Amino acid sequence: DAGITQSPRHKVTETGTPVTLRCHQTENHRYMYWYRQDPGHGLRLIHYSYGVKDTDKGEVSDGYSVSRSKTEDFLLTLESATSSQTSVYFCAISDGTSVTYEQYFGPGTRLTVT
Amino acid sequence: AQKITQTQPGMFVQEKEAVTLDCTYDTSDQSYGLFWYKQPSSGEMIFLIYQGSYDEQNATEGRYSLNFQKARKSANLVISASQLGDSAMYFCAMRATNTGNQFYFGTGTSLTVIP
């Protein structure tokens, strides 16, 4: 199994508070991704990173920011959490630029915003 | 625009029977990869099988095979000899050259295997 961990695994927070989710990998893969999973929508890309300090927006990036200061860590921040950001968040990693490279996923973080 | 469509929200199959989960995709790229993932009720995402756009043969991995019809832009997953442990959500995904490093996912199909 790919070495990907996410912390915390579960979090309940109040509307308006900042939240940071952490993804940590031990595979030295170049690419890291943050997705959210909601019923009826599958997985939607929030942000991704293609190297240290190199990030780009995905389909649903509004309200989220990311940072990657080290190869192994990719942080997702909700600056001011809203109830619409209640979701399951997955981190994924991938190596290489070829379309042949699959993604490996972390275990997920269940976030509830009350 | 890149898009993945899974039109079967839920499927049922008898244990030991084969089942096909549909996936169609839309891309203007010539080079792309198609992937299937399984998500059991425990929540983790498990990579199952990959098919490249230039691969002439359909991919197979154990009981999983991918029925790739390039002209129809379809990449259906076939599970043979279904087992109770196959009950899960199944997601089709695509990665294309011109989308940079992004993956696009379908909305998933929930498969239930009936004893």
Instruction: Round the average pLDDT of chain B to a whole number and report it.
Output: 93
What SS3 state is found at B84? helix
User: Which residues of chain A are within 8 Å of residue B25 when distances are taken between CB atoms?
Assistant: none
Q: State whether residue A104 sits within 8 Å of chain B by CB.
A: yes
The distance between the two most distant Cα atoms of chain A, rounded to a whole number of Å, is 41
> What local confidence, expressed as pLDDT, does residue A78 receive?
97
Contact call for B101 and A104, based on CB within 8 A: no
Query: With a CB-CB cutoff of 8 Å, which residues 14-73 of chain B face chain A?
Result: 31-33, 35, 37, 43-45, 47, 50, 52-53
**A14 close to A81: Cβ distance less than 8 angstroms:** yes
Question: Quick one: average pLDDT of A54-76?
Answer: 95
> What local confidence, expressed as pLDDT, does residue B103 receive?
87
B76-96 pLDDT tens trace: 999 999 999 999 999 999 987
Is residue A101 over pLDDT 70?
Answer: yes
Instruction: Round the average pLDDT of chain A to a whole number and report it.
Output: 93
Half-sphere exposure (Cβ direction) of A93: Cα atoms closer than 13 Å: 23
Half-sphere exposure (Cβ direction) of B41: Cα atoms closer than 13 Å: 6
B39-90 pLDDT tens trace: 999 999 999 999 999 998 999 999 999 999 999 999 999 999 999 999 999 9
